[in-house]
Each structure stands twice: as C-alpha cells, then as structure tokens.
Structure 1
Amino acid sequence: MPSNLLIRSETPADIDAIHDVTVAAFQAMPYSSHTEQYIIEELRAANALAVSLVAERDDRLVGHIAFSPVIVSDGSQGWYGLGPVSVLPEYQRQGIGKALVEEGLARLRNIGAQGCCLVGHPEYYVKFGFRNMPELVYEGVPPEYFFVLLLGGNAPQGTVTFHEAFLTERPS
C-alpha cells in the first residue's frame, strides 16, 4: 500500500467528499456516462452498499470504492459487483486504486462472498485475478470487458444483473 495512505469504511461525514471525488475521477473519461456519483448515492439510499471504502492521504479523501450485491440467474448467492472505483486525477497511478480494490476484496472474503464481478478495462483487473468467464455474462457488454473473480465455491452460470442503481441516467 502506498505510504501515508489510510483505507477505511465510509462514514456519513464522507458523503459529500465521495461525491466530489467521483465527479472529478470520471470527468475526463470518454466512456463514462458521468452518472457514477448518482449510482453511489442510489446504492447508499437503497442500503445496497455492502462494502464502501474511502482512501485518505494527508487527511484528504482521495479515493472511493463501492461493492454491491448482484443477482446471478442460476440462483448463486454471495455475489457482488465492484464499482464504481474513483481516485482524484492528481492521485491516480500511485497505487491508491489498487489498494482500494485489494482491501475491498479482502472485506468481501471476510463476509463470505462467493465472488465478485465488474465491467472494466481489460488490462487493469486481471492483476487482481479477475478473468473473463464465458459461462457468466452481463448482457449488453462485450465479454472482454466483463470480469469475474471467484472467492469461494463453484463458478456460477448464467446472467448477472447489477443493482437497478446502475441504470441511473441523471439525479433522481
């Protein structure tokens, strides 16, 4: 983990800063719908943030990651979706996102999660053990961008459905 970095669970006092970090992190991303901050807010309002962590450096919130339950069509239980993950642009490429992912996955293991999935960049998430699994799909997303990490048990088969908050198009 990068020096002088604290990863901890979010608190109510972090909500505004999480919003701001998320907006800033995705502002220049051409593939973003720029709704990530609203997704997090809706997940929080629905009590669907199973793990929500912040990264602090020098008493400043510089990153955030969210994990929420997903539904697998074969009935598999204990599966979670990773995302969004945000790091302030001036703090990117310093290992903060990696530290957030690693701590989040450790916390999922601690609560008995069976697996985690995400839509993301093909070259980034494989270093955490995520891989494409043809037997588990997320409809509407090219398979090379949908990743799965087994944390326990057998690999499910079927379709993954993320929380309805991920359908957010604008503030509610």
Structure 2
Amino acid sequence: MHNLLIRSENPADHAAISQVIEQAFQKQLYSSHNEQFIVTALRKANALTISLVAILNQHIVGHLAISPVEISSGVQGWYGLGPVAILPEWQLQGIGSALIQSALNQLKTHAAKGCVVLGDPDFYAEFGFKAVSELILEHVPAQYFQALSFEEKFPQGTVTYHEAFNASS
C-alpha cells in the first residue's frame, strides 16, 4: 500500500471513524458491537492517548485507538491497544499492521513502559506481544490477553481498561 497515509485523527474525522469502526466489527462474533461508543467515550474523557487513522484515496479506511490502563500494582505508563478497525473490504492487506506499528512507535516516544492488547495471539505476536502470567485481565482466556514491555520486565497485577470500555451508546 504505497499510497497509504497514517496520521492522527482530527475533529473532522470523528463521524467517519465511528462508521469505520461500526462496519469493521459488524460481523465479528466476539464483538459487543459497541466499539465506536468506546472510542467516543475515550475521546470525551480525554483518555484517547493515540488515535490514528489510515487513509487511502482521501478516505478513512482504518482506525486505531490507544488508551491508558491501570495495573493493580500501581505501576504507571502502561497502555491498551484497541479497538483496531479496518473497513471489511480493506482487511488483510497490511493496513492494521501499519497502524499498529505506527502506534507502538508513538507510544515509545511518549515514554510508555508497555502496552497490552486483547486479540488474536498469532497476529499480535508479530509485533512482539506475548501472554505473560504476571498480567491478568479478568474473565478473559489468558492466551488472548498479551503484553509488550518497552522495558526489561513486566509489572505484576490485574489490568483494568478505562471506564469508557463500558460504553454502550
């Protein structure tokens, strides 16, 4: 995708971002179908640390959100990746990977200590994510909750996503 542009969102993108997210998750069985509301709630709470859009031919075809997470040990500087949304007709073409790589690079410049993700273990392993026994996300099978540390070690504790992840409208 040589003409793929990845940039931070701006206010004019908000409606298109919601549409991309809604379409991307429409047929996902594991989805609660409230991902677009989560991103809006994160934005309203000033908890959208990184919000990137992928643009092809002047159209937003993908979006990625990163927000802070809390770890029960009290360690700071950890973030959660997601949701990541690509329009169905553009999925499996490297757009999501480009968004993730760009976001992880930005997180490192934010002096982040690490990042967690809930998703396909095989896919996220490509970026260095791995399931670690030290970090727990309750009510989720351990292999689907992965972490990437920018330091040498992982903190220990239970991870809590921002309350915006409970948004349903």
Shorter-chain TM range is over 0.9
Unpaired stretches in structure 2, ≥5 consecutive residues: none
Residue 21 of structure 1 corresponds to 20
Residue 95 of structure 2 corresponds to 96
Name the CA distance, whole Å, in 2 between partners of 1:152 and 1:50.
20
Unpaired stretches in structure 1, ≥5 consecutive residues: none
> Could you say what secondary structure the match of 2:98 adopts?
helix
The amino acid that maps onto 1:150 is S
* CA displacement, residues 45-101 of structure 1 (integer Å, 9 cap, x when unaligned): 000000000000010000000000000111111000000000000011110000000
Runs (4 or more) in structure 1 with deviation over 2 Å come to: none
Residue 147 of structure 2 corresponds to 148
Give the TM-score of the pair, scaled to structure 2.
Answer: 0.98
Report the more deviating stretch, 119-128 or 37-46: 119-128
Name the CA distance, whole Å, in 1 between partners of 2:74 and 2:97.
30
Residue 128 of structure 1 corresponds to 127
Residue 9 of structure 1 corresponds to 8
Name the CA distance, whole Å, in 2 between partners of 1:5 and 1:53.
13
Residues paired across the two proteins, number: 169
1:64-75 alignment, distance < 5 Å: 64-75=63-74
How far did 1:152 drift? 2.3
Name the CA distance, whole Å, in 1 between partners of 2:151 and 2:18.
32
Name the CA distance, whole Å, in 1 between partners of 2:122 and 2:26.
21
Contact 1:133/1:147 (<8 A) preserved = yes
How far did 1:154 drift? 2.8
* CA displacement, residues 128-159 of structure 1 (integer Å, 9 cap, x when unaligned): 00000001111111101100000125310010
Name the CA distance, whole Å, in 1 between partners of 2:36 and 2:152.
33
Name the CA distance, whole Å, in 1 between partners of 2:33 and 2:80.
19
> Could you say what secondary structure the match of 2:64 adopts?
strand
Name the CA distance, whole Å, in 2 between partners of 1:150 and 1:57.
31
Say what the alpha-carbon RMSD is for the aligned residues.
0.7
Name the CA distance, whole Å, in 2 between partners of 1:156 and 1:17.
36
Name the CA distance, whole Å, in 2 between partners of 1:63 and 1:40.
13
The amino acid that maps onto 1:140 is H
Name the CA distance, whole Å, in 1 between partners of 2:144 and 2:95.
22
Contact 1:114/1:153 (<8 A) preserved = no
Give the TM-score of the pair, scaled to structure 1.
Answer: 0.96
Residue 59 of structure 2 corresponds to 60
